[in-house]
Amino acid sequence: MKLDLLSKNWMDLVFEGKNKSYGAYELRKTSGNNTVRGFIIGALIFAVAIGTPKILDMIGSGTNSDDANLDKKVVTIKLPPKEKPLENIPPPPPPPPKVDQVKFVKPVVAKTNEIVEDPPKVKELVDKKIGNETIKGDPDAPATLDPPGNGPSNVVEEDPNQLFNSAGVEVKPEYPGGIAKFYQFVKNNYVAPDEPGLKGKVTVSFTVEKDGSLTDIRVLKDIGYGTGKEAERVLRKGPKWSPAEQNGKKVRCTYVIPISIETPEE
């Protein structure tokens, strides 16, 4: 005898004397139907899952083609406005009257026969003047001289106040007795500032006039503490210099000179 666990006789035997209204008995009783129903539902879900993408592709391609066709149908072309015919146009002018016409011939320079002339020999040029044409001289003609003229009238006169540089004059300006005497004069008259350990140079420029006096005294560089003003005071106090000379004449000349300053340390 074949054992069938799903038969109703077997389930009645198992659940004999028990509460058959309990859920387990109903589940065992309807398990076959539930299994068939579940298989059918699962097959339907699987078929839907497989077929849905293909259906969507078919729908999408159809929609895109319809949209493309719709776009092609909607596109419009703007035509240019029709030109209105011109009104009140005057008639064209009549053609000009016919006149006689002469052929224009472009002028051409024709070549002439070249004339070749032999150059003169060297012995023929002795004691003769060379020119564009041959002219026979008169050896018996009297010699004449043109009267002397006044010479050129546009002579530029030199500026008497022209200012020269000491590096470009023939004779440079000089302190009486030489440069050593100048520094000795500065040493004897310069009052250094009350600043211990001060050391440096003061550079001064000035103009030596034609009479030897000093003008336009300027301090180009100093080391502070009134050193430039003191150097200017000493130069104004000093004697006249020997002026510079150019082409044998006394001229105005600029001069630059350094003055060393040094004070003792504490």
Chain segment 157-208, per-residue pLDDT in tens: 678 889 999 988 999 999 999 999 999 999 999 999 988 999 999 999 999 9
55 alpha carbon, distance to own chain's centre: 67
Cross-strand bridge partners of residue 156: none
Tell me the pLDDT band of 14, cut-offs 50, 70 and 90. Answer: low
| pLDDT value at residue 27 | 65
Contact in structure between 172 and 257 (CB atoms under 8 Å):
no
Between vectors from CA 25 to CA 16 and to CA 36, what angle results, nearest 5°? 135
Tell me the pLDDT band of 9, cut-offs 50, 70 and 90. Answer: low
| pLDDT value at residue 214 | 95
Instruction: Please state the rounded mean pLDDT for residues 7-12.
Output: 62
Residue 148 scores a pLDDT above 60: yes
Instruction: Please state the rounded mean pLDDT for residues 131-152.
Output: 63
- Cβ neighbours, 10 Å, residue 243: 21
List the structure tokens of 110: 């024709």
Task: Report helix, strand or coil for 209.
Answer: coil
Chain segment 102-140, per-residue pLDDT in tens: 555 566 665 555 555 666 666 666 666 666 667 666 666
- Cβ neighbours, 10 Å, residue 242: 14
**pTM of the prediction?**
0.43
Q: What is the DSSP letter of 125?
A: G
Residues contacting 184, CB < 8 A, separation 6+ = none
